[in-house]
Amino acid sequence: MMTNNRKLLDWVKNVAALCKPDAIHWCDGSQEENDRLCAQAEAAGTFIRLNPAKRPNSFLVFSDPADVARVEDRTFVATTDPREAGPNNNWRDPVELKATMRKLYDGCMRGRTMYVIPFSMGPIGSPIAHIGVELTDSIYVVVNMRIMTRIGDAVLEALGDNGEFVECLHSVGAPLAPGQKDVPWPCNAENKYISHFPEDPSIWSYGSGYGGNALLGKKCFALRIASTMARRQGWMAEHMLILGLTNPAGQKIYVAAAFPSACGKTNLAMLQPTLPGWKAECVGDDICWMKFDQNGQLRAINPEAGFFGVAPGTSMKSNPNAMRSLRANCIYTNCALTADNDVWWEELTDEPPAELTSWKREKWTPGCGQKAANPNARYTAPARQCPVIDPAWEDPAGVPIAAILFGGRRPGTVPLCFEAPNWQYGTFLGSIQASETTAAAAGSVGVLRYDPMAMLPFCGYNMGDYFAHWLSMPGRAPNAQMPRVFFVNWFRKSADGRWLWPGFGENSRVLKWIFERIEGTAAAAETPIGLLPAPGAIDVAGLDVAAEDMRELLSVDAAAWLKDLPAIRAHYDKFGDAIPAALHKELDDFEARLQAAAKQADPR
């Protein structure tokens, strides 16, 4: 189907005149089109077809070693006023940046086809969804976007003649001269730009073919651009999983959760509860868009249609439901290749195969001192294949969010779980969300790294203004019903370095307490930091955790919290006068409560 949307037709024409592709292909989203493009990529040496007996209709791709991850230092937010972008973004002047990039785009698609990908972020036609159109010269992008979003004719139909869309322009930046042989992974390692223009809104990406740099529906649209749209329009675009939780009586709630990286977000999204009779189902593992309905209920969709997950560390032990989602129709990037044409990555099995082809296309054997898979190796899998996908995951109306969870990786100080008594204090807790650095990260060990609401790399505008937007949400709808806010920490350790909490499926015990708090049946005790589970309120039946360990998990050490305060204030200082006065007051009141508690604990 073609379109009569004049804005879209003019834009495609203008980009084609600038980038000068040999051909233009409008993607219809069909299986036949997908199969044809995959076969074309296979013939070009870009796709490696995996063993159909093990992984039907699945492919492995090796990228250029210079193009393996998001490039934060080449990711820009271009606004007329630099303050609008804030210290959390790399700011550029939009006029100057567009002029620079137009020079790069000039003729950049010679020898290639420009693919037009109409895509819907969210179920097509949902009042919470939004439409984008990506123009790209990469088959890899087309095939992955088909998994990660809804693409093709149905989106054009929903767009109509006058519908609005976000312009997403992408090129690998590798034009081909007549007769020049292509490489399996074209890119322009020396000239990468991932540029966001919220005032348009549009996204211009150049030089990288990888992940979030090229799949522009991912972080670029779903968070950076959508967050600016949400602020203007009175909704929320968040870096959160969405989980449905059903108790043994058949009652159900939905929770959203924002965790920094390496804090178990995907594992929680696909949780297998250990508590008898409890059921957890996945609506989404990464992005959450929330809008008020006519009754003031905040309802959420997962704007994506697939999972774009980190493969290393994913296994039947760590996340069996993720593994079951990968059985077919997947694209793997920078994983290792086995002798029988299957994929492998670190921690997939207890013992590695005797020989592999590494992500660098080299022979690999155990003990060679190199990783077989790139640490950021990825899988792209259709969400519909997840065995615990929620029945309402594609409901256009969205699911009602009862609670929002924050958390970080904190070996000390932060208890297993506690509740904010109100939305403003909950926003404060999200604004000071942090993880401690480990030996695996560059720099000092034990330093707090703040990642408010897990949005620090992804908020498309000044983070201080983002906090103000959160605070404004209760006034954005008549009878607004705001979710309850909780803070969790699965990573508390004892003084001798033991994990105090088993985590994984046992986290359902904490979710049970949260469920019962919302239901009004679970007890909580007031503390200087919030409402903690009362003694016995966490169900530990059948759990091998000592009583003293549970006391430690649910203890509040006011002196330890007070030690965090200089770092919290320094974190706020980075955003200057953009931090709302209400959060400064919450911080001052927080400090006063902690000082009073510390004095009571040690009256000297």
Q: What sign does the dihedral 224-133-135-42 (CA atoms) show?
A: positive
**Annotated catalytic residue: which of 19, 108, 263, 330?**
263
> Cα separation of 411 and 435, whole Å?
9
Residues whose CB is less than 8 angstroms from the CB of residue 548 and which lie 6 or more positions away in sequence, other chains included: none
> Cα separation of 260 and 456, whole Å?
9
Q: Please classify residue 473 by burial: count the beta carbons closer than 10 Å to its beta carbon, then call 0-12 exposed, 13-18 middle and 19+ buried.
A: buried
Is there a catalytic annotation at residue 220? no
Residue with tokens 């990529």: 41
- Which amino acid appears at position 497 of this protein? G
Cis bond leading into 201, ω under 30°?
Answer: yes
- Which amino acid appears at position 43 of this protein? A
Name the residue among 72, 73, 81 with its Cα closest to residue 198: 81
C-alpha distance from residue 159 to each of 119, 200, 397, 472, 561 (Å) = 10, 18, 18, 30, 51
Which helix (H) or strand (E) segment is 46 a member of?
none
Cα-based torsion angle of the residue sequence 205, 207, 211, 215 in order, rounded to the nearest 10 degrees:
30
List, in sequence order, every residue forming a beta bridge with 90; answer none if it has no partner.
Answer: 76
Alpha helices in 63-203 (DSSP H): 82-85, 94-105, 139-148, 153-159
> Cα separation of 86 and 65, whole Å?
32
Active-site residue list: 263
